[in-house]
């Protein structure tokens, strides 16, 4: 006996509902890994508040870390207009305002949905270390101002603080070894610890301090110079030390102050500067010399005086004057001693020299690993050039032009007599600004270390959450379809003959 028309329709609708339910069951049984979206990316922002300027860096890394450390890459760099934040003592709020332009650029790059989970940190280096020594309340006001600006922005603000010299040196060492692939490398579809690797040392020359960091051959005998950390499942122990007041700008300020000190008994002081080119002459105020905590002048100094500086272009006298900035006699021929009585094991391995080491030698065309005698000869000949010839040869570079002779000579004294490099170990130094497409400095090393403290969204957990959300949508859609079909079947059953 045949079915009626309404029975056939009713059975067809029930079949569709059953097929939909079966489809839902199959989807539930599908492995979660087959339907996942790609793992997301985390971002971090670091401000490097140096003595002469501030820079912002944006870093990114996959949410799933490698042995508790992120695989970090540089996504953006932005140099903030104006001087270093330590210069804003008379108006600290401007230190905070100065950060906004680059911060907006960073936030435009990072997806808006991730702004509130983006760790943001400002690290101030030697310029603020000096200000903290000279006037701690002024330094505190500046840090408060930049903290307020960053706290009011839509980021996860981790704080603004003055880095110790040891941290600055250690993070710089992490950076250079990471970008060179010494801490982690990609092989056969996975990240691994390199089997054959040569860890390199880091040489940093800022405006107010200089740092040396490396792995010595023997044990580190002074624990205050030792930094230890764990990255990608491996432990590291390095020697690192920072010399405050031995950065490029402060060293040259101290040099000028020392040369001026013996000439200030007359009302019209004239200083013959051996590191300035012959024919150079300028009138400078004395007050800035007294503003630096690195400069020790007599109380009888008349700060209202102007100082007339005349270059004589004498490399030999220049080196002799620069040597007086160091206390070499305090080491008394000790092998494990640098200068000023500071412990340092003998330098070992390859070194990367960056910041002002690089900028000075790049200007002098000395970044191609030339032999020491070529480097020395090049700097001496440059120092002996008349000022008019130097000005004509380098148009548009007047701001720093007079100081390149002194900077070059200072680097030689610091590396050879201070850090104890020799003609034999000189070839181990490479002067670089970048490596692996990333800027060399402390910020990347800081971010790598920081990723170990940021809770990772474990890939399996993230996938399970994504799958649950997706599955809930599938279930909801199928149940809705079944309900609609069921309602339609009931309606049809009662209205059809």
- List C-alpha distances in Å: 61 to 290, 451, 463: 46, 9, 17
**Contact in structure between 20 and 483 (CB atoms under 8 Å):** no
| Listed residue (291, 244, 293) closest to 133, CA to CA | 293
How far, in Å, CA of 212 to CA of 225, rounded? 10
Beta carbons within 8 Å of 231's beta carbon, 6+ residues apart = 69, 174, 178, 183, 184, 448, 449, 452
How far, in Å, CA of 400 to CA of 236, rounded? 39
Buried b (16+ CB within 10 A) or exposed e, 208-228: bbbbbbbbbeeebeeeebbbe
How far, in Å, CA of 410 to CA of 247, rounded? 10
Residues 451, 456, 458, 463: what is their CA dihedral angle, to the nearest 10 degrees? -120
Nearest 5 degrees, angle CA 194-CA 200-CA 204?
140
Give φ, ψ of 288 to 5 degrees: -60, -30
| Listed residue (58, 109, 108, 102) closest to 79, CA to CA | 102
What are 28's two structure tokens?
């539930």
| Length of the chain in terms of residues written | 497
| Listed residue (257, 248, 323) closest to 295, CA to CA | 257
Catalytic residues: 168
Beta carbons within 8 Å of 15's beta carbon, 6+ residues apart = none
């Amino acid at each position: 006996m045949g079915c009626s028309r309404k029975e056939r329709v009713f059975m067809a609708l029930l079949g569709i509902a059953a097929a939909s339910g079966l489809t839902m069951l199959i989807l539930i049984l599908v492995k979660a890994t087959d339907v996942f979206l790609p793992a997301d990316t985390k971002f971090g922002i670091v401000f490097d508040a140096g003595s002469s300027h501030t820079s912002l860096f944006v870093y990114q890394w996959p949410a799933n870390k490698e042995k508790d450390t992120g695989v970090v890459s540089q996504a953006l760099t932005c140099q903030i207009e104006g001087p270093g934040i330590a210069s804003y003592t008379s108006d600290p709020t401007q230190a905070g305002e100065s950060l906004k332009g680059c911060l907006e650029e960073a936030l435009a790059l990072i997806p808006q949905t991730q702004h509130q989970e983006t760790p943001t940190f400002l690290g101030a280096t030697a310029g603020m270390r000096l200000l903290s020594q000279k006037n701690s309340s002024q330094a505190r006001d500046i840090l408060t101002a930049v903290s307020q600006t960053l706290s009011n922005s839509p980021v996860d603000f981790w704080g603004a603080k003055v880095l110790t010299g040891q941290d600055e040196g250690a993070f710089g060492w992490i950076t250079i070894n990471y970008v060179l692939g010494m801490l982690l490398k990609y092989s056969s579809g996975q990240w691994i610890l390199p089997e054959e690797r040569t860890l390199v040392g880091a040489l940093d020359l800022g405006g107010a301090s200089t740092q040396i960091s490396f792995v010595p051959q023997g044990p580190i005998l002074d624990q205050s110079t030792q930094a230890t950390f764990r990255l990608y499942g491996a432990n590291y122990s390095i020697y690192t030390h920072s010399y405050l007041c031995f950065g490029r700008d402060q060293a040259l300020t101290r040099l000028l102050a020392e040369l001026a000190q013996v000439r200030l008994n007359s009302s019209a002081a004239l200083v013959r500067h051996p590191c300035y080119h012959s024919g150079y002459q300028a009138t400078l105020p004395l007050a800035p010399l007294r503003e630096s905590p690195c400069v020790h002048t007599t109380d009888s100094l008349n700060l209202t005086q102007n100082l007339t500086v005349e270059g004589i272009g004498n490399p030999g006298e220049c080196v002799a004057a620069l040597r007086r900035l160091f206390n070499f006699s305090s080491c008394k021929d000790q092998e494990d001693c640098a200068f000023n009585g500071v412990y340092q094991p003998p330098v070992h391995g390859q070194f990367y020299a960056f910041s002002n080491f690089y900028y000075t030698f790049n200007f002098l065309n000395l970044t191609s690993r030339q032999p020491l005698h070529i480097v020395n000869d090049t700097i001496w000949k440059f120092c002996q050039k008349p000022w008019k010839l130097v000005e004509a040869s380098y148009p548009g570079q007047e701001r720093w032009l007079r100081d390149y002779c002194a900077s070059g000579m200072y680097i030689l004294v610091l590396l050879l007599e201070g850090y104890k490099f020799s003609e034999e170990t000189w070839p181990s130094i490479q002067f670089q600004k970048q490596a692996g497409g990333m800027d060399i400095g402390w910020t990347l090393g800081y971010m790598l270390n920081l990723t170990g403290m940021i809770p990772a969204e474990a890939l399996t957990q993230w996938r399970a959450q994504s799958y649950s959300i997706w599955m809930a949508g599938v279930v909801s859609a199928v149940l809705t379809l079944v309900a609609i079909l069921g309602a339609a079947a009931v309606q049809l059953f009662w209205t059809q003959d």
